[in-house]
Structure 1
């Protein structure tokens, strides 16, 4: 079986592979989707259209029509099924396609989307053959609020060869990363400031005080940031799409204990007191206490980091994610 992959953000497989060879990004293809070939599905990635005019049209369409990838939506495709990573390519594909099944992931729709984005999604998603999400908390909402008939939880996977466990190189360093609108870096900064001897670095483009910000890092450089850290901590506002999930799994794969908020979906991936610590979302003092516990107990932090690495290897690798997606395609 052949799956035609439609990805957002102009991702190009050849360019990605070159960056992977330079150590800048994980996996040979984005999200490890090339690994589906190991599980009975031949992936064929859409090559994004390039050129000044096309890019200008694409930007205008995204701005006016809900953020979706309309510019490439009506190009001829090959394969037996259309697989889209998220709703920004999946919604146009579901509205367009009449002959082939469309399977799409959904990342953001359950948390605060604008009216135009919602209008298209409510018409497209019920037409999709299957819809999946990395956050289990999204599944009932997709069915209840968005008319999805066949929604499934597919756990996110991380490249465990790219992100490997290494001994930490700095004491007292707390690291975080992320750019989405549900990140609460302000709470994280205030919490870590309360911990004696702790220092904080955050890889983000969001506006935070310059002394904490690390801007313009590629994935390879963020991986190095994890290796320097004693603890990786995340703060978010309430959400159900598991904001912070990618960073959580990258840190776990790097052998670091994580501190996460108890948001639905995110807690599917972290075992409290075993692979990390979980605190009530928005509770600055509880977050500070979790960080302080890990910085003050090297043996506990190291054991949690080892357990976190094993958890990712056994349940959350991109190889396992590819196998689950291939099974989803074969059974559609």
Structure 2
């Protein structure tokens, strides 16, 4: 198939951590012999890694650097509200992106249009699909459903896109169910993200020493953007309750909430044992997983209603064979079988989170058992080859039905 893809986020360079799942989906489809063209916003840092079988078509939309805020996880403030500049940039990007997609549809004979995020990209794909007679598939990733639930304009745009889509996918059952209230004509097919197990599961590195962590300490790792839906404030509170344990908390990621989280750790009396290491590039993350004894994924449905679909860090933790404690929310229970692959706790409950962390911190054998089971599950059920096959099935079904 020739697949015309439109997305608003993608790793901007080889080691970037922005929307790695979009790159992985694209690579998985290309590796199966399909030709993929990706239309995406231009960005000052864009230096896209070449991928065999994939062509990139960036579109320019921002007349000034201050308006270059569309996509690449830069449109939302702490993932709960649009940044002011986004209101000015969005109309420009919508027009430019639609024009680029339309012009590209005339350059080649495509079999299907694949839009990641029903808004804004499904909305841009809608007129192109309609005008060119190309079947449209929409993939839901989380923030699109959240914004459509919160804003009537987004909800109308999502309904328009769904009306044209021949099929839709979602990375979790939660998103699939919620999309029905936004105009999805039938429940989207659930296609969880995947993970490349190969790079993970290596030997511990010298990171402990560089961070000043003693050898006998238990390291709890959390990875993600510092935004409300990641639930890191509850993790800080839970870690503070483990003051009798030799634990260190390492949080890798950047975001608007870093000052507040650092102050929370300071007030809780664990600042000396809490390490905020900032953004970690993808190839360096493997060392952090190898260093960790426990990975915490304390995702929550934040005050605005936003929640992760299926956190990539969860799958990466599984691939690394590290013991996991995660929230029982959104797509997480689809990946983690309680007591087999990890421990699940209620969201926003630092007491239960602390209890689960204490249970793992005190038992090396339990950590080893859960980690081994999680890695096996990642290998068997969440390989990118398997995910690529699932996306291929959806795309081919609508292409052949033309």
**TM class by smaller structure:** 0.7 to 0.9
Q: Secondary structure at the match of 1:110?
A: helix
Is the contact made by 1:26 and 1:159 (CA closer than 8 Å) also made in structure 2?
no
CA RMSD of aligned residues (A): 3.0
* Inter-CA distance 244–124: structure 2 relative to 1 (3 Å threshold): closer
Query: 1:31: how far off?
Result: 2.0
* Inter-CA distance 128–147: structure 2 relative to 1 (3 Å threshold): same
Aligned to 2:117: 86
Which 10-residue stretch deviates more, 80-89 or 206-215? 206-215
* Inter-partner Cα distance in structure 2 for 1:57 and 1:153: 35
Structure 1: state its 5+ residue gaps.
none
1:245 aligns with 2:255: no
Aligned to 2:128: 96
Query: 1:237: how far off?
Result: 2.2
Is the contact made by 2:191 and 2:387 (CA closer than 8 Å) also made in structure 1?
yes
User: Cα deviation per residue 1:14-50 (whole Å; 9 max; x = unaligned)?
Assistant: x64xx26xx9899898124222234353323332125
* Inter-partner Cα distance in structure 1 for 2:65 and 2:116: 20
Query: 1:55: how far off?
Result: 6.8
Structure 2: state its 5+ residue gaps.
40-56, 76-85, 209-216, 264-273
Q: Secondary structure at the match of 1:129?
A: strand
Say which of 33, 39, 44 aligns to 2:26: 33
Structure with more of its chain in helix, by fraction: 2
1:186 aligns with 2:233: yes
User: Cα deviation per residue 1:92-116 (whole Å; 9 max; x = unaligned)?
Assistant: 1124321111112112243353333
1:197 aligns with 2:190: no
Aligned to 2:79: none
Tell me how many residue pairs correspond in the alignment: 324
In the superposition, the TM-score normalised over structure 2's length comes to 0.72
Say which of 72, 97, 113 aligns to 1:72: 97
* Inter-CA distance 327–190: structure 2 relative to 1 (3 Å threshold): same
* Inter-partner Cα distance in structure 1 for 2:88 and 2:139: 19
In the superposition, the TM-score normalised over structure 1's length comes to 0.86
Question: Higher relative contact order at CA 8 Å, sep ≥6: structure 1 or structure 2?
Answer: 1
Q: Secondary structure at the match of 1:199?
A: strand
Say which of 262, 268, 279 aligns to 1:209: 262
Is the contact made by 1:6 and 1:89 (CA closer than 8 Å) also made in structure 2?
yes
Correspondences of 1:116-131 after superposition (within 5 Å): 116-131=153-168
